[in-house]
Structure 1
Amino acid sequence: MTKNIHFQLFLDKSREREYIRLPFDVEKDTESITIQYRYPSSPLREEGPFTIAGEPCTIDLAVMMPDGTMAGASGSDRSRIRLSPLGSSAGFASCELPAGTWHIIAGAYHIPSGGVTVEYELELTLKERRLFKGDTHVHTTASDGVLEPVEAAMLARRMGLDFLILTDHNNSAQNERLPFFQDITLIPGTEWTHYKGHAGFLGVKQAFRAPYFTASLQETADLFREAGENGAFRVINHPFCPLVPWEWDFALPFDGLEVWNGVMSERNEKAAFWWHRQLCAGRRFPVTGGSDYHRPGLLGSLAMPCQCLYAASRSQTDLMKALRRGNGYLSYLPTGPQADLLTLSPEGHPASFGEDAAPGASVEIFFSGLCQGDEIRLLTDTAEESLSAPAGAAELKLTRCYPDAHFLRLELYRSYAPGLPPMKALLTNPVYFR
């Protein structure tokens, strides 16, 4: 949704060399601001058969945020600028756009003797919930991967991905120089790599300063606490991997669990089963999935599985917020099946994956990208329902009500090739009935 603002400013000669503040209001959850302005740079007049150029006129442009911080300035060289956390015009900050009263700064550099009228047109685009696809577990040449961050981003763009979280082993220096692209979001991270287990510290450039090679449970707990205090989303990675299992048990402070690492396998099924038991016991934390990509291989690809997030925008802030809350699901490929869910919160607002729903509220469930034989499972702490997709099935729409359940999550099983047994192809985070 967009909001358009139009206004005019008349400047007479007496205001030359002034800086005039022009206020405009920005709502919460604004994704981008576009400002265009125009004025006659040299008013013309007719003199007999000739057109005579008038006095020169120059109006500069700058933008100030609600707290008085300058968002940027372009002088008079450009008549259109854009502000967004996903990339702003040159000379303007790329950052979240705070709500409040902003100001255009009109610099009245040269004003003709008869004055001038300047017209401003603003377009404010508001954020809206939509689906973004990416990978939360990617290695580069900063550790033992074969792709530079730029190469990983280029590959992800060709695959149609929206974001990558780069998680090199025990390193953070590379996060200080991540490349910037306007059409894909690169998010910093680190995979804490220890002989007794791995964990992803996601969303911050430097999660910890202490040595990564901890020697005791207390030292490890301190490192995890430091990462949390620094804003990292702490995910226990591939906890049931036979090569590097999680040996610290689950007493350390963590925020999420990677239940799907690489291709679907027994270790991933064990992780999903353990997580389901935790949900039934009343615990609440989201799950993630990541390819653990290092290099091309027979079963190695970016976004295998694909982390699918419903977020307000593709900014790092909104994507990490969605990941923390569990606002989405995992699919075995970016082109794999999709799912959505809509119900009402206890306050009567729309709610979906990772959020609170009112007990007994009607739940609308939607699947797309189905194939014949897909098995859809609806799982709560008290029951399980299974449906099989018939020949020609493409989508599924259901309405259900769970007055006695504490949560609902969805799974889809598919036979990846003729003769192979069905395997998990999609898994969602729950909606919680509170």
Structure 2
Amino acid sequence: MSVDQEINVTIDNFPEGEKSFVEIPFEVGSDIERIEVAYHFPFGGGGSVIDLGVARNGRMRGWSGSERGFITIEEDRATPGYDCGPLSGAWHVVLGIVKIGPACKVDLKIRLIRKRQRWLVGELHSHSEHSDGGVTVLDAIHRARSGRLDFLAITDHNTISQNTIRPDDPGILVIPAMELTSFWGHSNFLGLAQPVADWRCRGPHEVVDRMVEARSNGATIVINHPFQNSAGGKWQSGFDGPFDALEIWNGLWTPMNAQALAFWQELLVMGRQIPITGGSDFHLKNRRRHGHPSNRLRVTGSSIGDILAAVRAGRNVVSFSPHDLTAEPVEAEHPDFGARVASGTTIAISFGGLANGDEIRVVDEAGYRDTIRPETSQFATEIKFSSRFLRFEVWHGDEARLFTNPFYAE
């Protein structure tokens, strides 16, 4: 496993004196998820005043004067006063030499934190007052943070104004998004503040055109509630256009979700390797809660782009709540959900938070191949992979509790 990089520098020579700058270079590779900079200099009786900032590829990316001794920068969040954004490139710590006291020196530490795998849980389908959600963006973020979610997509209908409102240095990643809402179905465009130039669709073919446009701009696309019982909510634009995932669980478990689950199984049997998502589709008036259902993603890194890459790869477990019920590979060397695996590979899955009466169902192209009734809340199972695909469900009677994405044959 690669280790983090640490650079320690002591600066005690200021050739241009006061009212000058000293720059300390360092390189950041594509495998880095966070930059940390800490510095210390004599103050008080020493009289030194040294300001701090950073630059990337010759452009300033932040400045905090002498007010902060520690700052961090990631792709999608940063210490106030610093700009988030791309990390790879040629960087400099920029010291502003305001006043040089007796025996002045600066002890500088730069740490480059490498990307690592982690489980992040969050919401991919919700609304605010910018369409029909009934709450402000900041209220929506507060509700999601109160539910201990790591990320939130506010997917307002055919509008992007919600994407301009972002809190300072949030403890939650807010994914820019829009729900394309047409007379022929709804789909989420995730990851872009403005995924399309004009959302209007005058037929199913134009829905597909908007999907093509959003995909070409870099959006991750999810077809929402394909069997919703409404004229415009039901998906009627075909499944040949570009999309990355299918929302099979929307809000409370209902017959429309059961239809979506059955249809997804049909697509898998046909050879379509389509990841799934869930979404609360929160509106204040429907009394739903963010993260019910939730998306628990195996993410490499900590950015919005890393989260959406996990959605597209199918490294997602859709559960009835964010933290109560989990499923994950037993050890790091076992393949992730969504992975292509060789016949004979041992699939080892650990379940946590099971309740009395829960059933684990094992599903492949023939349907339900096994039902396990665990007697403890923590349970692990091993299965030799020998199918075209293999996935897991947890049920409590007729109540859906959890769905994994499949493992696929190589």
Scaled by the length of structure 1, the TM-score of the pair is 0.85
Structure 2 equivalent of residue 412 of structure 1: 394
Distance 1:128 1:109, change over 3 A: same
* 2:315 equivalent to 1:327: yes
The one-letter amino acid paired with 2:38 is Q
* 2:49 equivalent to 1:58: yes
Following superposition of structure 1 onto structure 2, how do residues 34-433 of structure 1 map, counting pairs within 5 Å? 34-41=36-43, 56-65=47-56, 67-98=57-88, 100-111=89-100, 116-180=104-168, 182-212=170-200, 214-243=201-230, 244-295=233-284, 297=286, 300-341=288-329, 351-382=335-366, 384-391=368-375, 393-402=376-385, 404-414=386-396, 421-433=397-409
The runs of 4+ residues in structure 1 deviating greater than 6 Å are none
Distance 1:385 1:366, change over 3 A: farther
Q: Deviations over 1:36-56 (max 9, x none)?
A: 2222247xxxxxxxxxx67x4
The one-letter amino acid paired with 1:301 is R
1:390 CA displacement: 4.1
Tell me the distance in 1 between the aligned counterparts of 2:22 and 2:336: 46
Distance 1:169 1:103, change over 3 A: same
The one-letter amino acid paired with 2:318 is L
Tell me the distance in 2 between the aligned counterparts of 1:201 and 1:13: 53
1:115 CA displacement: 5.6
Structure 2 equivalent of residue 5 of structure 1: 7
Number of equivalent positions:
406
Please tell me whether the aligned partners of residues 35 and 123 of structure 1 are also in contact (alpha carbons under 8 angstroms).
yes
1:78 CA displacement: 3.0
Tell me the distance in 1 between the aligned counterparts of 2:31 and 2:76: 14
Tell me the distance in 2 between the aligned counterparts of 1:68 and 1:430: 45
* Aligned partner of residue 207 in structure 2, secondary structure: helix
Tell me the distance in 1 between the aligned counterparts of 2:186 and 2:14: 67
* Aligned partner of residue 186 in structure 1, secondary structure: strand
Tell me the distance in 2 between the aligned counterparts of 1:375 and 1:175: 40
Please tell me whether the aligned partners of residues 131 and 310 of structure 1 are also in contact (alpha carbons under 8 angstroms).
yes
Deviates more, 1:187-196 or 1:149-158: 187-196
Distance 1:29 1:110, change over 3 A: same
1:125 CA displacement: 3.0
Tell me the distance in 2 between the aligned counterparts of 1:241 and 1:12: 68
Tell me the distance in 1 between the aligned counterparts of 2:15 and 2:227: 75
Please tell me whether the aligned partners of residues 129 and 136 of structure 2 are also in contact (alpha carbons under 8 angstroms).
yes
Q: Deviations over 1:306-357 (max 9, x none)?
A: 121121344322212212222111111124310012689xxxx763012333
Distance 1:78 1:162, change over 3 A: closer
Q: Deviations over 1:120-139 (max 9, x none)?
A: 12333333222222221111
Distance 1:7 1:236, change over 3 A: same
Distance 1:181 1:268, change over 3 A: farther
* Aligned partner of residue 227 in structure 1, secondary structure: helix
1:16 CA displacement: 5.1
Distance 1:241 1:89, change over 3 A: closer
Tell me the distance in 1 between the aligned counterparts of 2:134 and 2:75: 29
* Aligned partner of residue 153 in structure 1, secondary structure: helix
Give percent identity, aligned residues only. 33
Please tell me whether the aligned partners of residues 49 and 99 of structure 2 are also in contact (alpha carbons under 8 angstroms).
yes
Which of 25, 28, 41 is the matching residue for 1:26? 28
Please tell me whether the aligned partners of residues 338 and 368 of structure 1 are also in contact (alpha carbons under 8 angstroms).
yes
Q: Deviations over 1:388-424 (max 9, x none)?
A: 3344x1111122221x32222111111xxxxxx4322
Please tell me whether the aligned partners of residues 185 and 314 of structure 1 are also in contact (alpha carbons under 8 angstroms).
no
1:365 CA displacement: 0.9
Q: Which runs of 5+ in 2 are unaligned?
A: none
Tell me the distance in 1 between the aligned counterparts of 2:167 and 2:71: 22
Tell me the distance in 1 between the aligned counterparts of 2:51 and 2:353: 52
Please tell me whether the aligned partners of residues 351 and 378 of structure 2 are also in contact (alpha carbons under 8 angstroms).
yes
* Aligned partner of residue 137 in structure 1, secondary structure: coil
Scaled by the length of structure 2, the TM-score of the pair is 0.90
* Aligned partner of residue 138 in structure 1, secondary structure: coil
Please tell me whether the aligned partners of residues 12 and 115 of structure 1 are also in contact (alpha carbons under 8 angstroms).
no
Structure 2 equivalent of residue 49 of structure 1: none
Deviates more, 1:11-20 or 1:173-182: 11-20
